[in-house]
Amino acid sequence: MVTAGPTVEKIDPVRFISNFSTGKMGYAIAEALASEGAKVLLVSGPVRLTVSHPLVSRIDVTSADEMFEICQSLFPTCDGAVMTAAVADYSPVHIAEEKLKRVGNNWTLELKANRDIAAELGKMKRTDQMLIGFALETQNELDNAQLKMERKNLDMIVLNSLREEGAGFGHDTNKVTLLERKGHISEYALKSKREVASDIVEKIAELLSLPA
């Protein structure tokens, strides 16, 4: 299973909270896995991308809650999951049924925390499953990624930084560092997202071949 893209958290019928994720990295990973013979369930937030590989089955969702429910349902049937999606951390407490009108110069929006999908899957993870997460950091990158990996019971985390030109959201390239649960760290040069996806899939295959 691979998750990709952003989630959209509605405020009213015409407004929402989201982020700049394009889904390119997740889609590239899904296709790279399929190219190696894996049957991939691609759980996708709203993106302007298509996937044509016959081994990739796409499941479209909109909100963080929808992605949570689908992932929790599918994960027990999977050998593992790559959690690439940029899921919104918060969503509005109340969704207005009608368009909210402008009133005054200030507007306060009450938000609630969304469930952490990767962390919940980490609690469910069996010993024969692999769980891989992503971390987009702007400071203390390695330390924060390491803490996230341990907190969410991940086997590996893919770190990229907004400090790196050409990396992160909105680019066709990415520069990543792979941190493994057993302590090994692999740093890669700036590459196309398709090449990065191949590096990640190669590392997954390597980890699967290692003794527990």
- Cα dihedral: 166, 172, 176, 178 (round 10): 170
Distance CA 82, CA 132 (A): 5
Q: Check: CB of residue 24 under 8 Å from CB of residue 46.
A: no
19, 105, 106, 153: which is the annotated catalytic residue? 19
User: Closest Cα partner for 81 from 118, 27, 37, 32?
Assistant: 118
Active site includes 160? no
Cα atoms found within 13 Å of the Cα of residue 13, Cβ hemisphere only: 5
What φ, ψ does residue 9 adopt, rounded to 5°? Answer: -110, 110
CA 31 – CA 29 distance, rounded (Å) = 5
Could you list the active site residues? 19
